[in-house]
Chains A and B, each alone.
Chain A
Amino acid sequence: MKLIKKKMLYMAVVALAGAGMLVMGILRGNAQMSGVGSGMLAVAILKLFQYFRIMKDPDKVRQLEVVQNEERLVFLANKSAAITLYALIIIAYIAMLTLMFMGNTALSSGIAYAICAALIIYLIVHAILNKKY
Chain B
Amino acid sequence: MRTKIADYRKEKRVTQEELAQAVSVTRQTIISLENGKYVASLPLAHRLAKYFGVTIEELFVLDEEEQKI
User: How many residues on A have C-beta within 8 angstroms of the other chain's C-beta atoms?
Assistant: 8
Q: Which residues of A contact B25 (CB under 8 A)?
A: 66, 70-72
State the CA gap A72–B41 with chains docked (Å). Answer: 9
| Cross-chain contact B41 with A70 (CB below 8 angstroms) | no
Main secondary structure of the interface of A (DSSP, over half): helix
Interface assignment of B24: CB less than 8 Å from any CB of chain A = yes
Q: Which residues of A contact B55 (CB under 8 A)?
A: none
| Cross-chain contact B26 with A71 (CB below 8 angstroms) | no
Residues on B lying within 8 angstroms of A by beta carbon are 24-26, 28-29, 32, 38, 40-41, 43-44
Q: What are 19 A-B contacts defined by CB distance under 8 Å?
A: A66-B24, A66-B25, A67-B26, A70-B25, A70-B26, A71-B25, A71-B29, A71-B41, A71-B43, A71-B44, A72-B25, A72-B26, A72-B28, A72-B29, A72-B32, A72-B38, A73-B26, A73-B29, A75-B38
